[in-house]
A and B are shown apart, each in its own frame.
Chain A
């Protein structure tokens, strides 16, 4: 079992020149990873015998005011340690390489992150929407999302109760 600082240090030594920032240590290491080196770092984390993060527990997307973020929660069955990777993605071109070839569990998570937040995962084998209808427009969990007033002829605007009932 490695401490947060040890995991970060190990990543830095395996990828010299890349910038890994240890942002949080409680309850687990949260390491900021540049999106350009994400795939290489992910392979190191999975395959290195001292790290062996073999389980992608969760992949989530965050909409910050200035950027989008993808967060990967990893766990090692062998060493019983965990960490999280945080990748920042610019809002004007939300693209990040897929990790579904490294952890197959990422496939549907990445589809969900695309559907809800509009992050495009390059190299994904099946980059369709997963929850919304295939011809849905926009990404509903974005902060600037405007819900449609109707979809395929079904009205989606809020139906208010009649005035007489609300005033009484």
Chain B
């Protein structure tokens, strides 16, 4: 992947490879099994039988080394932020982050008086998709994965101008 990346212009081989890679990546996003607070309950529900994330090729992996994407499902405290960052750094490239719920987006109910809450997980790691809600319903999480899928489909190996 990285051998080809940025080496060539957008020629017919590169753009065809893009289609293959992006199709395979966007149809098998494996998130890290990682819940911090009540949003994780909705995340578990989304992965279980009723909403069944598996039909999108999404199923939870128990180790960051097998994961493509990370769902920050819950309140990130400063004590947890260091662990979140370490887990993110252990994931192989390419990696994506979904920030789920108000707490992970901006600190949520703790944004003003929470002495221990990070005011948005994007202060610690880069975020691709934000889901509003407290907590968001499983449909919202599914929508975030579809948005992330659109983002992955626009990626290219070609040299950027």
**A residues within 8 Å of B by Cβ?**
132-133, 140, 145, 147-148, 151-152, 154-159
Q: Would you call the interface of chain B mostly helix, strand, loop, or mixed? A: loop
**B residues within 8 Å of A by Cβ?**
78-79, 81-82, 106-107, 111-112, 115-120, 123-124
| Shortest distance between the CB of B88 and any CB in chain A (Å) | 14
| From A133, A155, A159, contact of B79 by CB (8 A) | A133
Distance of A148 Cα from B72 Cα, bound (Å): 24
**Contact across chains for B78 and A140 when beta carbons are under 8 A apart:** no
**Contact across chains for A154 and B112 when beta carbons are under 8 A apart:** no
Distance of A147 Cα from B112 Cα, bound (Å): 11
Q: Would you call the interface of chain A mostly helix, strand, loop, or mixed? A: loop
Additional A-B contacts beyond A133-B78, A158-B111 (12; CB < 8 A): A145-B115, A152-B82, A154-B78, A154-B118, A155-B119, A155-B123, A156-B78, A156-B115, A156-B119, A158-B112, A159-B107, A159-B119
**Contact across chains for B106 and A140 when beta carbons are under 8 A apart:** no
**B residues in contact with A156, CB < 8 Å:** 78, 115, 117-119
Residue of A nearest to B81 (CB): A154
